[in-house]
Amino acid sequence: MQCARAWRPLSPLLSTRIYQTAWNRSQSSPAAGRLNLSGIYPPIATPFTTKEDVDYQKLKENLQKYARIPFKGLVVQGSNGEYPYLTEEERVEVVRMVRQSLPGEKLLMAGSGCESTRATVELTGRMAAAGADAVLVVTPCFYRGKMDSRALIHHFTKVADSSPVPVVLYSVPANTGLELPLDTVLELSHHPNILGLKDSGGDITRIGLIVHKTKTQDFQVLAGSAGFLMAAYCLGAVGGVCALANVLGQELCELERLCLSGSWEEARLLQQRLIEPNAAVTRKLGVPALKQAMEWFGFHGGACRSPLQRLTEAETQQLKQDFTTNGWL
């Protein structure tokens, strides 16, 4: 009964207040010289040939289709780009190629995280030279038992000190086994070259607390998944980097519009239809599922680079069901 009452229409006053919170956080002018990250970003996939080489032609064709969707920009060499399986040269070349194809007004956020601070600093510089407007730096995690706040603050501070472009922190515990600690985020939010955080953990109370605790820092929080995008907007996030945007990009941009315009009932209905497809291409079935779904929706997905394997027939049917039952196929 409590859940049923929670979904009753909002009063006009409360709806207006929530709308103003979401709008003000995502539309306010950043401090001088700071990028405004507000908007939706697909963390783009990397197409491969049958020999597992990067297929730059198919990537370019995907970019041409994404150009027709009102994204704020693209995230390149994030988790869905299979960056751990690419060489450093491939990672940089993909960013360079995307920058050449991307309209100038679109932001390019490039993943530059490595396990060592030194390697991250070097790759960050190369990503900036290749055309990145900002870099997304994932937590180092191989020695996760020693990655306490002291180590992580040292790491990200060194990277931000040397980076020629703004740094966005990246917490993705499902992949790293390590969540960027709250005290670490709050300390790093004071750094003038650390712009914000992509939080993929899914703890909406944590996201709300980070927004609240950094509200005087011009620190921008991005939801790391479409499954909690509306909730994140309600609590002051400025946008989302969402795997599902590779497939349902127009729909996620529409969800953003509904949240920012205060159309919460319509936003709720759309958000509910996105939860199962999003879970399918992320925590349930991962990048192989995302690439399969891309094929259904007219994009080049294809196979992953080994050791990732294509979906089994049973997994493919489950994926199709998650999209079909929500009206997307």
**Range 233-254 average pLDDT:** 98
pLDDT band at 34, cuts 50/70/90? confident
Out of 12-21, 143-152, 235-244, least confident range: 12-21
Look at residues 92, 96, 48, 40 and name the one whose alpha carbon lies nearest to residue 66. 40
Do 70 and 253 touch, CB atoms closer than 8 A? yes
Percentage above 90 pLDDT, the chain: 89
| Domain annotation covers residue 267 | no
What confidence tens digit (pLDDT) does each residue in 305-321 have?
A: 999 999 999 999 999 99
DSSP line for 205-252: HHHHHHHHHTTTTT-EEEES-GGGHHHHHHTT--EEE-GGGGTSHHHH
Q: Which residues are annotated as a binding site for pyruvate?
A: 241
Does residue 28 lie in a domain region?
Answer: no
Residue 132 in this model has a pLDDT that exceeds 60: yes
Query: Residue 110: exposed, middle, or buried by beta-carbon count in 10 A (0-12, 13-18, 19+)?
Result: buried
16 domain residue, yes or no: no
Average pLDDT, the chain: 92
User: Could you list the active site residues?
Assistant: 170, 198
Domain boundaries, position 171: 33-262
- Is 200 within the bounds of a domain? yes
Q: Dump pLDDT digits (tens) for 190-234.
A: 999 999 999 999 999 999 999 999 999 899 999 999 999 999 999
Establish if 314 belongs to a structural domain: no
Output the six-digit token pair for 121: 């600093």
Report residue 15's pLDDT band, with 50, 70 and 90 as the boundaries: very low
Q: Which helix or strand (DSSP H or E) is residue 168 part of?
A: strand 167-171
Q: Does residue 317 sit within a domain?
A: no
Looking at residue 312, the DSSP 8-state letter turns out to be P
44-61 residue pLDDT tens: 999 999 999 999 999 999
Binding site, annotated residues: 241
Q: What is the mean pLDDT of residues 127-140?
A: 98
Residues 6 or more apart whose CB falls under 8 angstroms from that of 305 comprise 46, 48, 52, 82, 85, 86
Give pLDDT, residue 182.
97
What's the one-letter identity of residue 112? S
| 303 falls within a domain | no
Per-residue pLDDT at 9: 38
Domains in the chain, number: 1
3 is a domain residue: no
pLDDT at 32: 40
130's tokens: 């290749």
**Which pLDDT belongs to residue 33?**
63
CATH number of the CATH domain containing 98: 3.20.20.70
In angstroms, rounded to a whole number, what is the distance separating the alpha carbons of residues 63 and 39?
17
**Peptide bond before residue 12 is cis, with ω within 30 degrees of 0:** no
Phi, psi of 262 (to 5 degrees): 80, 15
Tokens of residue 5, six digits: 């009452």
pLDDT for the residue numbered 241: 98
